[in-house]
Chain A
Amino acid sequence: MHIADGILSAPVLAAGFGGTALLAAVTMRKMGHEEIPEVSVMSAVFFVVNLIHIPIGPTSIHFIMNGLVGVILGIRAFPAIMLGVILQALLFGFGGVTVIGVNCVMLGAGALGAYFIWQLRHRFPLGDRLEMIFGGLAGATGVFVSGLILAAALFSTGEEYIATAEYALAAHIPALIIEAIVVGACASFLKKTRPDLLAGQVLQKKME
């Protein structure tokens, strides 16, 4: 899920870069150098997982996994997604250089939304399936929020893109379902094996 070069208008591109700078400044506050490798690792995993395709009937769809980044890194998910998007633009022309800002806001805001939903799990004592359910919701939120921003970016560029925005939104429904299941399974797997990797997990221990 990316917007390509050459579609959006100058104000939308500028808003993308402005939004990215602002979100990066907020989410990278007080980031020590010991966090640099951690964010980079997650960013590289995000990049690599994006290359994996899941078959859907005759076609296939690639993972987005911005929700998972939120579940693992919390607010530091934004810089991680940003690096992933920058590298995708530089190495593949995936998206493109001029839309780095818009794509960062789109995928990064999805990750932050996913983290917000993920943190709500502390309020619901659902027992064993807690991580699976909230991981799933977080995975779906990541795709959903990003899809909305994608549609908004197309809408605000011009009325000729309204139909495109609608198709783009519809095309995200299968991705949303797949991400929900995979992120849910992944979160519950990590809860059993390395719960310290999940965001906000230490906090929960203190509360107990």
Chain B
Amino acid sequence: MSLEIDRFSHIESSIQRWDPRLKILSLGIFIFVAALLKTIPVAVASLLIAILIIKITNIPFHFVAQSIKWIIIFLAPFFFILPFSYPGDPAFRFIGLPFAWEGFRLSILIFTKAVAIVLTTDAIFGSSRFDISMIAMQRLKCPKVIVQMVLFTYRYIFVFIDEVKRMEKAMRSKGFVMKTNMNTLRTMGNFVGTLLIRSFERTGRVYSAMLSKGYQGDLHTMITFEAQGKDFVKAGVIAILTIAVLVADMINIFHPAIKGWY
């Protein structure tokens, strides 16, 4: 499970040392530019930039492979649907179905961009402790209620996954097997209900403990950020790459994916 996104944030690299605020800001803008690209060569270039960034972080490949696996699962249907449903003249018939290169190129474009984005996201949030990233988000004017709730939720997720595993073990030891039938679904309803009750009771106790320690809706932290020259240089490099990618995509040196490969 790749849930522990910050598992490799302790590795030394120039991305890990980068001020999280500037890192989130500059790579965040890069992500949005990448999402809106229309030409395949530029999308490939943005993917190469993303690979380079993840390479610099020294985060092992098997870790990012998890995220890429999700993209493949998500986007596989597009490869099967878009080429066969693209409006207009199909290039040829494939097992009786009209196959359009436009649709196929569009799937390639989508896939390339999605991988570039997920790699960059992994680089941003995989290279700092998650709580530090969130506090950096707060400094970037993200509402503090949302930042606090994200931190709570992040903490609870691991607790509840353990809870689910315990409950599953208990059910299996009583002979429960998941099948496609009413009984399974009703049992799962009760399972979710029990998970809810246990979760609310546990966190009710946590909340009482927080109140007794003086919690009044604010999260106090000793983390401070200090951006130095180097941090701005890194942000500048990313900004130049982002602008280059955006301009190359927009000045018509390449065809949009639906019109041609390059």
Which positions in A face B, CB cutoff 8 Å? Answer: 2, 4-7, 9-10, 13, 24, 28, 31-34, 36-45, 47-49, 51-52, 54-57, 63, 65, 68, 72, 79, 82-84, 86-87, 89-94, 96-99, 159-164, 167, 178, 181-186, 188-190, 193-194, 197
Contact = CB atoms under 8 A, between A and B. Distances in A.
Contact of B156 (A41, A63, A178): A41
B250 interface: no
Nearest to A171: B77
B81 A163 contact: yes
A184 B153 contact: no
Contacts of B262: none
A48 B203 contact: no
Given A83-B146, A91-B2, A91-B3, A44 B153 contact: yes
B81 A2 contact: no
B149 A185 contact: no
Interface of B: 2-3, 5, 28, 31-32, 34-37, 66-67, 70-71, 74-75, 77-78, 81-82, 84-87, 102-103, 106, 109-114, 117-118, 121-122, 125, 145-146, 148-150, 152-154, 156-157, 159-161, 164, 178-180, 182, 184-190, 192-197, 199-200, 203-204, 206-207, 210, 215-217, 258
A78 B252 CA distance: 41
Contacts of B5: 90-91
B36 A10 contact: yes
B193 A6 contact: no
Contacts of B122: 93
Given A94-B70, A167-B77, 12 more contacts: A2-B74, A37-B203, A37-B204, A45-B160, A55-B180, A90-B121, A91-B5, A93-B118, A182-B188, A185-B188, A190-B196, A193-B193
8 contacts: A10-B36, A49-B195, A54-B188, A87-B154, A90-B125, A93-B71, A186-B193, A197-B200
Contacts of B111: 6
Task: List the 3 shortest-distance A-B pairs measured between CB atoms, nearest first.
Answer: A185-B189, A163-B85, A33-B217
B36 to A, nearest CB: 5
B149 A97 contact: no
B216 A5 contact: no
Given A37-B206, A41-B203, A91-B2, A52 B164 contact: yes
A188 to B, nearest CB: 8
B85 A189 contact: no
A88 B156 CA distance: 14
Nearest to A136: B189
Contacts of A178: 185
A36 B157 CA distance: 15
Contact of B75 (A4, A98, A99): A4
A28 B258 CA distance: 42
B2 A92 contact: yes
A183 B86 contact: no
B162 to A, nearest CB: 10
Given A96-B118, A181-B189, A189-B189, A13 B206 contact: no
Contacts of B179: 55
A55 B180 CA distance: 6
A102 B176 CA distance: 38
A202 to B, nearest CB: 15
A97 B125 CA distance: 12
Contacts of A45: 160, 192, 195-196, 199
A12 to B, nearest CB: 11
Contacts of B189: 181-186, 188-189
Contact of B161 (A10, A48, A93, A163): A48
A33 B88 CA distance: 55
Nearest to A25: B143
Contacts of A183: 189
A63 B195 CA distance: 14
B167 to A, nearest CB: 11
Contact of B186 (A38, A84, A185): A185
B184 A54 contact: yes
Contacts of A42: 196
Contacts of B2: 91-92
A45 to B, nearest CB: 5
A4 B217 contact: no
